[in-house]
Amino acid sequence: MRPQHLVLTALLLTGTASLGWGLWLVTGPHAAGSGGRPPRGDAAQAFLAASPPAGPAEHAEHAAVRPGAGTFTHPAPAATDQADPQALCPDCDIVVITMCSMRRDRIGAYGQIEGLTPNLDALAAQSQRFDNAWSASNFTLAGLTALLTGRFGSSTGVTGWDKGLVADVPTLPEILGFYGYRTGAFTIDAPSGFRPDYGLDRGFQTMQIIPPPRDTPDGRFAGGDIGPGGASARPAATWIAAQDDSGPIFAMFHTRTAHFPFVLEDDTTDPTGVSHALWEAGATGSPGGAGQAMPGTAGGTAQKGVVAMVRDPLQDLTVAKGEAGIEVWKRQYAAAVTRADQDVGVVLQAIQDRGRWDHTIVLVVADHGEALGDHGEILHGDAYWDGVTHIPMLLRVPGLAPQAIPGLVSQVDIAPTLLALIGAVAPAGIDGASMLPLLRGTAPQIRSTTLIEGGVTIQQGSTPRGAVVSPPWVLLRQDRGCGGGAEAPRPAGEPAECLFNLAEDPGETENLVLKHPEVRDQLVARWDAFRASRATQGQTLTLDPSFVDDLHRNGYFLQGEDDPARSQASPAAPAKPPGP
C-alpha cells in the first residue's frame, strides 16, 4: 500500500469531522506525482511502521534541558535499503544549511537589498528559488522540528521551549540512515533547540555542538581575535571533507551568526546608544534587574516557563531614538547577515573541495526571519508578521536548471522532497508534500494552505496562536494586535485575529477580518479540523536554570531567579564549557 493510501485510511478512521482537512492533505500535499515510490516492505518500512522504544534517559518525561557543548553519537542502522535508481538524484549527497533569523529581503537574490550575501547569491544563481516559502513557526525549535519530521507543530506537539519530540515520530536523518547515508549535524552551544535534549539528534550518527566562537554574537565575550569569520561552520566543513566515497552523506548545519544581539564588538561612538546596548544585552546574568537591557518579548509556552509579553529597556531605547535607533538596529543586523553568509560559504567550499559538487543536493532555508521594527516588533517570537514567517529557501539539485518558483511551500515539505529526490520513501501520515512537481513544472502548486504554529510568549485563554496562509489570504492570531484596520472584540486573554489580502496589501497594513468574516471562518475551520485530526502532545521537558539563563541572554524570558521554568530537581547544573 502506498504511503498516500495509508494517510487516507488513517484519516477516514478519524470521522467525518476531520475528513475535509484529511482530503486536503491527500489531494494537496500528497497528490499523485509527488515523486515517492511504493514501499519495499524492508528495513525502512519496518522502522516507519513500528513505535521505537522510549530512548535514552535524556528524552524521559520531564527531563531537564541543559546547555553544553559536546559530540553526541548514534550507531548507523544495521540494515539498509536501496533507493529507487530512477529517482532524480539517486545516491546524491545532501547538505542542509538552516539560518537563524534570516530575512528573505536581506538576501540579494530576492531582489530587495543587494551586497550582503555574495555566497547565497551565487548559490541562488544555480538553484530553485522559492518565492512563497513559509516557516512552520516563529521560533527555531519548532521550525527545525517541522523541517526534520515533515509535520506541523500540532502534529508533533513541539510548540514551545518546554516540548520535545516524542520517540515515535520518524526524522529525516533516521530514514536516510536506512538508505546507507552517513549523517552529521553541527551547530553551536546556544538556545536553538537543535540538540539531544529536544530529540533532534535522532538519526544523526554524529552531532557536534561547539562553544560559540568569537565571530558570533553568542561568543562575543569569549575573548581572543574575531578571526576571518565562518568559525561556526568549520566543524561541518571538516566532517564533510573527511568522508570517503563509500556511500552518500547527509550533513545539516545550523548557523546562529545572524541572531540577536548581532554585534561582535562594543561601539560607544554610536550617538543613539543602541549599539552599546546590543553589546551589553544579556551580559549581566539573569535579566529582570532595573535598567538591564534585554530585548525579546518572549520566552516560553502556555504550559511551563512562560512570561507575559512586556517591553524591555533595549526596545524602549531603540524606539525612543526614533528612525535613527531603528536604522542602527537594522545596520547591526545587516552586518550579522553578511557574517552568516560567510558560514554558508565555508560549507559550500567544503563540498566543492571534496569533488562532489555535481553530486550534492544543497538546501538553504531560514528557520524564521526577524521583525526589525515592522509593525512595532523588533525581534521574533510573539507575532507572525511577514518579515518573520515568510522565509528564504534555495534548493540546488544537480541537473536542474535554476528557476523562481511561486507556488506555496512550507518547511514541512522539505523532508519529503529530499527523500523523493534520492528515491527514498517518505513516512506515511506526514503533513509535508514533495515539491518535485514544482521542480519539474508538472504542477503549479502542491498545497493550497499552510500553517504557522507555536511561539514563545505566554498564551492565555483557549485559542491557539499562529497563522493560516492560503494565498492571497493570511490569518494571524497574535496577542500583539493587528496594527491597522478595525479589530473584532476579543475576550481578555484571547489573541487578536488579523486578516490580510497579501496580493493587495503585502505590507499587512489593513486588517479585513470584519469586512470578510466568511474568509476568516473558512481559514479557522481548516485549522480547527486539522488540529482535531492531528493534534499530538509533545514530550514534556523542564528547563534547567542554566538553560533558562541562556534563553535570558538571547532575548527570551524576562523574569528573574524565580522563573517557574527552572528545574527544581537539578539545582546544581553542570558548568557551561568555556569558549574556544
The pLDDT of 36-43, averaged and rounded, is: 38
What pLDDT is attached to residue 412? 98
Dig out the grid coordinates for 301 from the structure: 509556552
d(CA 509, CA 236): 42
Kindly state whether residue 153 falls inside one of the protein's structural domains: yes
Task: List C-alpha distances in Å: 247 to 60, 104, 228, 357.
Answer: 34, 34, 33, 15
By the 10 Å C-beta count (0-12 exposed, 13-18 middle, 19+ buried), 86 is classed as: exposed
**How sure is the predictor about 36, in pLDDT bands with cuts at 50, 70 and 90?**
very low
Instruction: Report the percentage of the chain scoring pLDDT > 90.
Output: 62
d(CA 444, CA 490) in angstroms, rounded, equals: 38
Q: Indicate whether 567 pLDDT > 50.
A: no
pLDDT: which is higher, 381 or 458? 381
In a domain, 522, yes or no: yes
The answer to whether residue 74 scores a pLDDT higher than 90 is yes
By the 10 Å C-beta count (0-12 exposed, 13-18 middle, 19+ buried), 320 is classed as exposed
Confidence bin at 460 (pLDDT 50/70/90): low
- Reported as a pLDDT band with limits 50, 70 and 90, residue 552 is low
Angle (CA) 356-144-21 rounded to 5° is 115
Average pLDDT for 367-390:
88
Query: What H or E segment, with its residue span, contains residue 255?
Result: strand 249-255
| Least confident segment among 208-212, 337-341, 426-430 | 426-430
Is the sign of the CA dihedral 122, 126, 130, 134 positive or negative?
negative
State the pLDDT at residue 556: 62
Per-residue confidence band for 198, with pLDDT thresholds at 50, 70 and 90: very high
Q: Exposed/middle/buried for 527, CB within 10 Å: 0-12, 13-18, 19+? A: buried
Q: What is the pTM of this model?
A: 0.85
**H-type helices in 214-321, by residue range?**
234-242, 274-280, 313-320
Map residue 260 onto helix, strand or coil: coil
548: which 3 cell numbers?
A: 533558562
Rounded to an integer, the average pLDDT of 117-130 is: 98
pLDDT at 138: 94
Query: What percent of the chain lies above the pLDDT cut of 70?
Result: 78
C-alpha span between 455 and 433 (Å, rounded)? 24
Cis amide prior to 564 (ω within 30 degrees): no
Higher-pLDDT residue of 37 and 159 is: 159
Q: Tell me the average pLDDT of the chain.
A: 82
The boundaries of the domain holding residue 178 are 3-60+68-390+411-553
| Gyration radius of the chain over CA positions | 22
Mean pLDDT across 23-31: 35
Cα separation, 414 vs 160, in Å, equals 21
- Cα–Cα nearest to 474, from 533, 370, 382, 390: 390
Q: Which of residues 544 and 223 earns the better pLDDT score?
A: 223
Q: If pLDDT is split at 50, 70 and 90, which confidence band does 311 have?
A: low
pLDDT given for residue 551 in this prediction = 72
**Tell me, what's the pLDDT at 11?**
27
Is 567 part of a structural domain of the chain? no
Which of 76-85, 296-305, 405-414 has the largest mean confidence? 405-414
Whether 398 is in a domain gets the answer no
565 lies in a domain? no
> Could you say which DSSP state residue 461 is in?
S
Q: Say what the pLDDT of residue 37 is.
A: 33
In a domain, 195, yes or no: yes
Instruction: Count Cα neighbours of 58 within 13 Å in the Cβ-side half-sphere.
Output: 14
Label residue 43 by pLDDT band (50, 70, 90): very low
pLDDT at 39 over 60: no
Does residue 569 form part of some domain?
no
CATH number of residue 521's parent domain: 3.40.720.10
Mean pLDDT score, 282-305: 38
Which contiguous run of DSSP H or E holds residue 546?
A: helix 545-553
Domain count, the chain: 1
User: Which residues neighbour 411 within 8 Å (Cβ) at sequence distance 6 or greater?
Assistant: 133, 134, 135, 136, 143, 146, 147, 365, 367, 391
Give yes or no for residue 241 having a pLDDT over 50: yes
Q: Judge whether residue 2 has pLDDT over 50.
A: no
pLDDT at 65: 83
The answer to the question of residue 517 being in a domain is yes
304 vs 458: CA distance, rounded Å? 9
Residues constituting the chain: 580
Question: Residue range 141-167: average pLDDT?
Answer: 94
What pLDDT, on a 0 to 100 scale, did the predictor assign at position 539? 84
Q: What is the pLDDT of residue 555?
A: 63
**Torsion angle of alpha carbons 170, 94, 388, 28, nearest 10°?**
-60
